[in-house]
Structure 1
Amino acid sequence: MTVAAEVDETSPQKLLAPVLSAFWDQPGSWTLDTYRRHDGYEGLRKALAMAPDDVIAYIKDAGLRGRGGAGFPTGMKWQFIPQGDGKPHYLVVNADESEPGTCKDIPLLFANPHSLIEGIVIACHAIRSQHAFIYLRGEVVPVLRRLHEAVREAYAAGYLGTDILGSGLDVDVTVHAGAGAYICGEETALLDSLEGRRGQPRLRPPFPAVEGLYACPTVVNNVESIASVPALVHRGKDWFRSMGSEKSPGFTLYSLSGHVASPGQYEAPLGITLRQLLDMSGGMRPGHRLKFWTPGGSSTPMFTEEHLDVPLDYEGVGAAGSMLGTKALQCFDETTCVVRAVTRWTEFYAHESCGKCTPCREGTYWLVQLLRDIEAGKGRAGDLDKLNDIADNINGKSFCALGDGAASPIFSSLKYFREEYEQHLNGRGCPFDPARSTAWADNDAHLGVNA
Structure 2
Amino acid sequence: MTDLLTPVLSANWADERAWKITNYERTGGYQGLRKALGRTPADVMGTVKDAGLRGRGGAGFPTGMKWSFVPQDNPNPKYLVVNADESEPGTCKDMPLMMASPHTLVEGVIIASYAIGCEAAFIYVRGEVVHVVRRLQQAVREAYSAGYIGKNVLGSGYSLDVVVHAGAGAYICGEETALLDSLEGRRGQPRLRPPFPAVAGLYACPTVVNNVESIASVPSIIANGAEWFASMGTEKSKGMTLYSLSGHVQRPGQFEAPLGITLRQLIELSGGVREGHELKFWTPGGSSTPILTAEHLDIPLDYEGAAAAGTMLGTKALQVFDETTSVVRTTLRWVEFYKHESCGKCTPCREGSWWLVQLLQRFEAGTAVEGDIEKMLDLCDNIGGKSFCALADGAVACVTSAVKHFRSEFEAGYTTPAWELFPYERSALFAAPKGAHA
TM tier, shorter chain? over 0.9
User: Which structure 2 residues correspond to residues 289-308 of structure 1 after superposition, within 5 A?
Assistant: 289-308=278-297
Are the structure 2 counterparts of residues 434 and 306 from structure 1 closer, same or farther at C-alpha, using a change threshold of 3 Å?
A: closer
Letter aligned with residue 356 of structure 1? K
Are the structure 2 counterparts of residues 315 and 45 from structure 1 closer, same or farther at C-alpha, using a change threshold of 3 Å?
A: same
**Correspondence for 2:434:** none
Equivalent position to 2:83, from 79, 85, 94: 94
Deviations 1:212-269 (A, max 9, x none): 0000000000000000000011011111011001110000000000011000000000
Deviations 1:317-359 (A, max 9, x none): 1111100000000000000000000000000000000000110
Are the structure 2 counterparts of residues 428 and 25 from structure 1 closer, same or farther at C-alpha, using a change threshold of 3 Å?
A: closer
Consecutive unaligned residues in structure 2, runs of 5 or more: 426-438
Equivalent position to 1:16, from 5, 27, 50: 5
For 2:11 and 2:113, the matched residues in 1 are separated by: 25
**Correspondence for 2:172:** 183
TM-score using structure 2 length: 0.96
**Correspondence for 1:441:** none
Letter aligned with residue 88 of structure 1? P
Letter aligned with residue 117 of structure 2? R
**Correspondence for 2:14:** 25
Counterpart check, 1:353 vs 2:342:
yes
Are the structure 2 counterparts of residues 434 and 159 from structure 1 closer, same or farther at C-alpha, using a change threshold of 3 Å?
A: closer
The answer (yes or no) to whether the contact 1:375–1:429 under 8 Å persists in 2 is yes
Deviations 1:129-175 (A, max 9, x none): 00000000000011111111100100000000011111111010011
User: Which structure 2 residues correspond to residues 23-62 of structure 1 after superposition, within 5 A?
Assistant: 23-62=12-51
User: Which structure 2 residues correspond to residues 185-334 of structure 1 after superposition, within 5 A?
Assistant: 185-334=174-323
**Correspondence for 2:432:** none
The answer (yes or no) to whether the contact 2:290–2:398 under 8 Å persists in 1 is yes
**Correspondence for 2:414:** 425
**Correspondence for 2:373:** 384
Deviation of the 1:412 alpha carbon: 0.4
The answer (yes or no) to whether the contact 2:59–2:314 under 8 Å persists in 1 is yes
The answer (yes or no) to whether the contact 2:279–2:320 under 8 Å persists in 1 is yes
Equivalent position to 1:362, from 348, 351, 354: 351
For 1:135 and 1:434, the matched residues in 2 are separated by: 40
Counterpart check, 1:105 vs 2:85:
no
Deviation of the 1:277 alpha carbon: 0.6
Deviations 1:385-417 (A, max 9, x none): 011010111101111111100010111000000
Are the structure 2 counterparts of residues 375 and 147 from structure 1 closer, same or farther at C-alpha, using a change threshold of 3 Å?
A: same
Deviations 1:414-439 (A, max 9, x none): 00000011112135554434699xxx
The answer (yes or no) to whether the contact 1:423–1:430 under 8 Å persists in 2 is no
For 2:268 and 2:177, the matched residues in 1 are separated by: 40
Deviations 1:342-382 (A, max 9, x none): 00000000000000011001100000000001100110121
For 1:433 and 1:337, the matched residues in 2 are separated by: 6
Task: Tell me the SS of whatever aligns to 2:82.
Answer: strand
**Correspondence for 1:156:** 145
For 2:279 and 2:417, the matched residues in 1 are separated by: 25
Equivalent position to 1:145, from 134, 144, 153: 134
Task: Tell me the SS of whatever aligns to 1:254.
Answer: strand
The answer (yes or no) to whether the contact 1:424–1:430 under 8 Å persists in 2 is no
Letter aligned with residue 346 of structure 2? C
TM-score using structure 1 length: 0.93
Aligned residue-pair number = 425
The answer (yes or no) to whether the contact 1:377–1:430 under 8 Å persists in 2 is no
For 2:397 and 2:26, the matched residues in 1 are separated by: 44
For 1:390 and 1:161, the matched residues in 2 are separated by: 52
The answer (yes or no) to whether the contact 2:83–2:210 under 8 Å persists in 1 is yes
Task: Tell me the SS of whatever aligns to 1:371.
Answer: helix
For 1:169 and 1:349, the matched residues in 2 are separated by: 43
For 2:198 and 2:35, the matched residues in 1 are separated by: 26
For 1:222 and 1:373, the matched residues in 2 are separated by: 38
**Correspondence for 1:174:** 163
For 2:208 and 2:68, the matched residues in 1 are separated by: 10
Task: Tell me the SS of whatever aligns to 2:140.
Answer: helix
Deviation of the 1:281 alpha carbon: 1.1
The Cα RMSD (Å) is 1.1
For 1:169 and 1:102, the matched residues in 2 are separated by: 36
Are the structure 2 counterparts of residues 432 and 60 from structure 1 closer, same or farther at C-alpha, using a change threshold of 3 Å?
A: same
Stretch of structure 1 that moved more, 26-35 or 190-199? 26-35
The answer (yes or no) to whether the contact 2:329–2:418 under 8 Å persists in 1 is no
Deviations 1:30-57 (A, max 9, x none): 1101111111001111111111111111
Letter aligned with residue 349 of structure 1? Y
Are the structure 2 counterparts of residues 377 and 43 from structure 1 closer, same or farther at C-alpha, using a change threshold of 3 Å?
A: same
**Correspondence for 1:8:** none
Task: Tell me the SS of whatever aligns to 1:209.
Answer: helix
For 1:219 and 1:399, the matched residues in 2 are separated by: 21
